Amino acid sequence: MAGIATAEACDSNAPLLASGDLRVLQPVFTIYGQSRMFSGPIVTLKVFEDNVLVRSMLESRGEGRVLVVDGAGSMRCALVGGNLGQLAQNNGWAGIVVNGCIRDVDEINACDIGVRALASHPMKSNKRGHGEKGVNVHIAGTLIRDGEWLYADSDGILVSKSELSV
Ligand SMILES: O=C([O-])CC(=O)C(=O)O
């Protein structure tokens, strides 16, 4: 699937950038996964060192959406691993953006999805099931709302209030 390049989108959408309807995430993410360019409607999750809700979302059909997980930037455990990467791929998620860590990097890099995370960490997270779905999150200096659109490629990550046209 041909995507929209983030640099091109920035160059051709100055009014949207000025109004804040198009926002650029600060460049704090590492790139994982087979698909270096991905985009789709956003589903937000807010969790803290607990990935039960992450799994339950990825168990549902992705239909080309992007799961944005605000894990508060925790550097103490991983919120996504190889099994969840496989699940996301098999259920048709376009990608996962994690404000936190992932693990099983080699397995995730083999999955046909795009993944962005701050870092990798070998420990798994808690399994209590705490967190919130569909709430506004603040990641990498940017407000992100459930239902907005995310565009990621090798240059960076954009969030847009609505779908961008080519
Ligand atoms: O279950 C977890 O905590 C994450 C994980 O390791 C996996 O997805 O393989």
CA dist 99 and 148 (Å) reads: 17
Q: Does 109 belong to an annotated binding site? A: no
Nearest CA to ligand 1 atom 6: 81
Please report, for the chain, the start and end positions of each structural domain, with discontinuous segments joined by +: 24-156
Element (H, E) at 12: helix 6-12
Instruction: Quickly tell me which residue has 């360019």 as its tokens.
Output: 37
Which residues are CB-contacts of 102 (< 8 A; sequence separation ≥ 6)?
Answer: 32, 78, 79, 80, 81, 108, 115, 117, 120, 121
* pLDDT score for 3: 84
Model confidence over 4-15: pLDDT tens digits? Answer: 999 999 999 999
Q: Does 83 belong to an annotated binding site? A: yes
First-residue to last-residue Cα distance in the chain: 13
Model confidence over 69-107: pLDDT tens digits? Answer: 999 999 999 999 999 999 999 999 999 999 999 999 999
Q: How close is the Cα of 29 to the center of ligand 1, in Å?
A: 20
Alpha-helical regions (H) of 34-123: 52-58, 82-90, 105-109
Q: Does 51 belong to an annotated binding site? A: no
For the question of whether the overall pTM of this predicted structure is more than 0.80, the answer is yes
What percent of the chain has a predicted confidence (pLDDT) above 90? 97
Tell me the torsion sign for CA atoms 15, 18, 22, 24.
positive
Model confidence over 132-163: pLDDT tens digits? Answer: 999 999 999 999 999 999 999 999 999 999 99
24-156 under CATH 3.50.30.40, yes or no? yes
- With CA atoms as reference, report the closest residue to 78 among 40, 44, 117: 117
β-strands 137-139, 142-144 pairing: antiparallel
pLDDT category of residue 1 using cuts at 50, 70 and 90: very low
Q: And the tokens for 101?
A: 């860590």
- Residue 29, Cβ density class (10 Å: 0-12 exposed, 13-18 middle, ≥19 buried): buried
- Ligand 1: which of 32, 80, 127 to mutate, judged by most atoms within 8 Å of the beta carbon? 80
